[in-house]
Structure formats: C-alpha cells, structure tokens
Amino acid sequence: MGTGTAGTDWQAWQQSWDRQQEWYMPDREERFRVMLDMVEATVGPTPRVLDLACGTGSITDRLLRRFPDARSTGVDLDPALLTIARGSFAGDDRVTFVTADLTAPDWTGALPHTEYDAVLTATALHWLRSGPLATLYGQLARLVRDGGVLMNADRMIDRTTPRINAAERAHRHAVMDRAKEGGAVDWAEWWALAAADPALAGPTARRFEIYGGHADGETPSLQWHAETLRSAGFGEARAVWSSPSDGLLLALK
C-alpha cells in the first residue's frame, strides 16, 4: 500500500479525506470504534465484510488494522474515491473493490460473494431518498447471512424535536466555523484539490458528471431505519451508538 506507480501518495489522499470528513463529524472515529466493537461482538474477528458506498476505504482501513484476518469487498460508484481506495490497498489480497450503482436493480450481481457476515456503511446512504433506501435494505437483507449484521452510521434526524435539533445544529456549525478559521478543508475545497491533482483530475471530472454537485437525499430517523430494516427481513434492529446529530444503527439477521 502507499505510493502508486505514478508517484501518487494514495495514503496521503486517504488521510486528507478523513480530515475533511472529521470537520463535519469530530466524533467520526468513535463511531468506527463502536462499529468494529459490534462486528466482533456479533460475527467475530475474521468476518467477510461488504463495505457499502466505501469511498476511499475508510471502514476497510480500520477493519483490517483491527482484524488482520478479515476480508472486505468495497463497493462504490465514485471513480475518484475508488481510485484512491484502489491505490491505497494495491497488492492487499484481503480487499476487492467493485464499481456499482446501488440504485441499479442488479448491482449485487457485480459482487464477488453472494453472502456476507457484515455489511458496514457510514455517512453515505443519506444520498438516497427513502424509497430507494428501503429497496436497498431489502437487497442487503438477502446478502447478509443468518446471524450476520448490517450497520449504518449516518445523519438520522428525529423530526419530533425541532428545538433540540436547531440548538444542536447551531452549536455544531459554530464549532465548524472555528475549525475553518483554523485551516480546516471543507468538502468543496477538497474536491478542488483533487481536480488539480494530475492523478485524480480525470476521475474527479467523471465523478461530477455522475453526481453533479453535492445534493442531500433524506435523513430519516433511527426509528424509520429500524422499522424499515425489520420489514426487510432483519430480526432485530436498534441504535448501538448516537451523537446529538448522528446514529449508528445495527440490524441483526
């Protein structure tokens, strides 16, 4: 892993993505730690994992550092983030990356396995509207083995508490503003840097052809996720971690 054949330091790009994401989520590492705690608790330290909407491979990186005998399939559609992921994990036979559109009805056919111990995803599925997300949960229920798990860490908003939500959001944005004054790089600035790098300029251009600008989908509540996952075929589902703005939901098959 590390520097690619063209001299690009893919590890540095992966780390810069992590720093950019931490500007939005200062407790990002804590949710990853709890996610992996629950992987170990439910399916053990040698899981076959589907890293869903994997981006640069942030979950896979932490998974393999903690569980060296794990295996991971990373799936995403973003050509720029997948370029970083493939460069970072080049030569590691524990990892496979797949390009697929999670809204396509047959996307699971591109995967190397038909069954996984755990499906893990973070800060990604809010791109989907609730209808396509419910469909995706149904597809994932068929990929997770009996006794296996799905975990989704993302923004999950309880619409019944608008004043609490407003106070949390104001405080979070004040903290982000102070970090920005200290030099933190936001999402748009990070993509501008990627577009300026010769190794990422082409994949970044293709990425924006696919997605356009950043557009949020929906951020339904933890309760909605839990109910939808149970309807999809999971036996149990509940939060195993939460922050004032985000949640980590675990569904057990």
- The tens place of each residue's pLDDT in the chain, 253 residues long, gives 444 445 899 999 999 999 999 999 999 999 999 999 999 999 999 999 999 999 999 999 999 999 999 999 999 999 999 999 999 999 999 999 999 999 999 999 999 999 999 999 999 999 999 999 999 999 999 999 999 999 999 999 999 999 999 999 999 999 999 999 999 999 999 999 999 999 999 999 999 999 987 666 789 999 999 999 999 999 999 999 999 999 999 999 9
The residue type of 96 is: T
Strand partners, 74: 51, 97
Task: Using the structure block, give the residue that is written with the tokens 């690009």.
Answer: 8
Cβ contacts of 13 within 8 Å, gap of 6 or more: 56, 84, 87, 88, 194, 197, 200
| Contact criterion met (CB below 8 Å) for 14 and 57 | yes
Please give the pLDDT value at position 213.
73
User: What is the distance in angstroms between the CA of the first residue and the CA of the last residue of the chain?
Assistant: 34
3-class SS of residue 164: helix
The closest of 106, 180, 172 to 139, measured between CA atoms, is 106
User: pLDDT at position 2, please?
Assistant: 43
- Residue-level pLDDT at 215: 63
pLDDT of residue 217: 75
Q: What is the pLDDT of residue 214?
A: 64
Angle between helices 10-24 and 79-88 (to 10 degrees): 120
Helix locations, the chain, DSSP H: 10-24, 28-43, 58-66, 79-88, 130-143, 162-181, 187-196, 201-211, 222-232
3-state DSSP percent of the chain in helix, strand and coil, to 5: 50, 20, 30
Token pair recorded at residue 131: 């209808």
- Alpha-carbon distance 156 to 135, whole Å? 18
Q: What is the pTM of this model?
A: 0.95
Quote the tokens at residue 239: 């939060």
- Enter the tokens of residue 235: 């036996």
Q: Which tokens belong to 152?
A: 């989704």
Q: What is the DSSP letter of 108?
A: G
Counted residue by residue, the chain has a size of 253
